[in-house]
Structure 1
Amino acid sequence: MFTKHLSKPYYLDQLESASRRIAMTHHKHSEIEHWRTKLLSNYYGEKKILPVLTHLSSKESRILFDLRLPLPDHSYCQIDVLIVTRNFALILEVNHSPLPNLTKDYRFMHVNDRIESRMPDPLSQAELQAHQLTYWLTMAGFQSIPIHYFVVLTSPASFIHPSYGSNSQVIHLDQLLTAFQSLDRLYNSSPLEEFELNRLCDLLVIEHTPYQPFILDRFHLHKTDILQGVICPECSNLPMKRVHGRWYCKSCHHTSRNAHVEALKDYQFLFGERITNQRACAFLKLDSSTAALQILNEVACEKSGLNKTLYYVFNE
């Protein structure tokens, strides 16, 4: 049973908007692009693991994607995939890095360009998550649950470096089902009753705290660093111009009725869910506040305030 489904991380949406709206010559663009690529790779790896997990989904197992549980020291236990059964809990640290030699000494060596870069060892990350989850479960009154973990390599080009030896906790995606079944056979008794399993999974969902930073602060950006205007969906040029109810691109001559929708999504991910008519007019580079008002009335799900304090809240 999928208790917490896989969904695109809000932070990834934020990074994608920032990547589109920060000039490539900006000194922060490469850093933003690094994190966007990293998070997108992880999300793609989780999507690849999804079909395999459907074979594990049953009344006896609960699957939760992308958990972020608060800890008393103000840190967080972040888990790609958590499988909870009545017998044990299993952490899956998903890795979809392109062409890595996965080594135990905290390195990924990219074979194609011969560039070696230091990154956290996924096995050490999974081990840390197991310790954090054990502590969290104890605090929640579930101290009797055994916790296991696997690092799951989802890229076909990945291979396990000899430095891991015969460590069975680092596996390829096609080994996951067999590994789970072998683990399940180890247990003859269940520390949890079904109602306790339900209560635990409900608590995990309630305690989940998604990462949704104010991205300008996260990367020390200013509002003036953000490129304004509607981006052309055909050639990515900006800004498009509003002409007789349509958006027109001077570069490729493409026209669109609703190109402003993606622009306003960018605004939401970068600045928040509230926008005023004045800010919409400036961000969309509209000559008419009446046109901005018409657009906001189409896309907003609610509005509040009066006159100059009137703001709109975006639809989901």
Structure 2
Amino acid sequence: MFTKHLSKPYYLEQLESASRRIAMTHHKHSEIEHWRKQLTANHYGEKKILPLLTHLSSKESRILFDLRLPLPDHSYCQIDVLIVTRNFALILEVNHSPLPSLAKDYRFMHVNERMEARMPDPLSQAELQAHQLTYWWARSGFPIIPINYLVVLTSSASYSQPSYESDSQIVHLDQLLSSFQSLDHAYTSSLLKESELNLLCDKLIDENAPYKPCILDRFRLKKTDILQGVICPECDALPMKRVHGRWYCKVCHQTSRNAHVEALKDYQFLFGERITNQRACAFLKLDSSTAALQILNEVAFEKSGVNKTRYYVLNE
């Protein structure tokens, strides 16, 4: 069964907001786009693998997407997909890059909240994840089971590369089910009770620590680097102007009732989930604090404080 479902990574949402809100002429825009494209490709690869994994979804297996487990040395074990059964575990390192050779591919890992490090080829990364997960597992107190790993190539451009065929731990998308079945037939001893399997998955989810950096610190941006205003959903122009309860675009002349929702999502991913009336006025480029108050009361799910100290908590 799917114990931890696939969702868009928070960091990818942050990068998308930063890409929209940083001028293309800004010296950091290309770097932000580089990481956005990498994460988008990886997320797309995970979505391609999803239909196949439904065939493994049963009482006998647990499937968890996008785990990031803290380790004692302050690094993290990052796993695209983890399949756990009572007999064995399988790490899937999803690769959607159309690579001429695996040795030239570089992926990344989040070392801490302000730093990323490049990892060499995905096979080495999957091997490292297996070592890290084994260490995490031993500390968790659960019975040890064999931990295997596969690199799954999801790009059709990788299908003609003969260099992949020599390594059984690198499989194409259409080979994944047969590879899993081979492992399932090889490991016949149940080392975990079903209750232990459930408790283990609960612990994996409890300890999962999604990467949510301060995006401005991560790319050494200033608050003044962020473009403010509501972006037109039709033509991407900004800022839209609030007129009689609607947002009006002076470029394409389209109107919208709720264009501010995406703008406030950008604010959350860039600056955090707390916002004041004053900051909402500035970010949305509103002339009226009353209009900002009305909007915040509609979109915020929590508020705290009184008068000038009042802040609102935005929905994720």
TM-score (structure 1 length as normaliser): 0.93
Match of residue 308 from structure 2: 308
Q: Deviations over 1:197-223 (max 9, x none)?
A: 111111111111111111111111110
Q: Is the 8 A contact 2:84 2:90 kept in 1?
A: yes
Match of residue 96 from structure 2: 96
- The offset of 1:188, in angstroms, is 2.2
1:75 equivalent to 2:75? Answer yes
- The offset of 1:119, in angstroms, is 6.9
- The offset of 1:143, in angstroms, is 5.2
Identity of aligned pairs, percent? 81
- Give me the whole-angstrom Cα distance separating, in 1, the residues matched to 2:237 and 2:174: 42
Match of residue 272 from structure 1: 272
- The offset of 1:76, in angstroms, is 0.3
Match of residue 111 from structure 1: none
Distance 1:119 1:213, change over 3 A: closer
TM-score (structure 2 length as normaliser): 0.93
Match of residue 201 from structure 1: 201
- Deviation >6 Å, runs of 4+: none
Q: Is the 8 A contact 1:134 1:143 kept in 2?
A: no
RMSD over aligned Cα atoms: 1.4
SS of alignment partner, residue 42 of structure 1: helix
- Give me the whole-angstrom Cα distance separating, in 1, the residues matched to 2:255 and 2:165: 58
Match of residue 159 from structure 1: 159
Q: Report 1:33-182 matches (<5 A).
A: 33-97=33-97, 99-103=98-102, 105-107=103-105, 120-142=120-142, 144-159=144-159, 161-164=161-164, 166-182=166-182
- Give me the whole-angstrom Cα distance separating, in 1, the residues matched to 2:233 and 2:101: 38
- Give me the whole-angstrom Cα distance separating, in 1, the residues matched to 2:121 and 2:37: 18
Q: Report 1:209-224 matches (<5 A).
A: 209-224=209-224
Q: Report 1:233-272 matches (<5 A).
A: 233-272=233-272
Q: Is the 8 A contact 1:276 1:311 kept in 2?
A: yes
Q: Point out where structure 2 has 5 or more consecutive residues left out of the alignment.
A: 107-117
Q: Quick check: which one's helix share is greater?
A: 2
- Give me the whole-angstrom Cα distance separating, in 2, the residues matched to 1:260 and 1:164: 48
Q: Is the 8 A contact 1:106 1:119 kept in 2?
A: no
- The offset of 1:159, in angstroms, is 3.2
- The offset of 1:83, in angstroms, is 0.2
- The offset of 1:293, in angstroms, is 1.1
How many residues are treated as equivalent by the alignment?
A: 305
- Give the letter for the 1:78 counterpart: Q
Q: Point out where structure 1 has 5 or more consecutive residues left out of the alignment.
A: 109-117
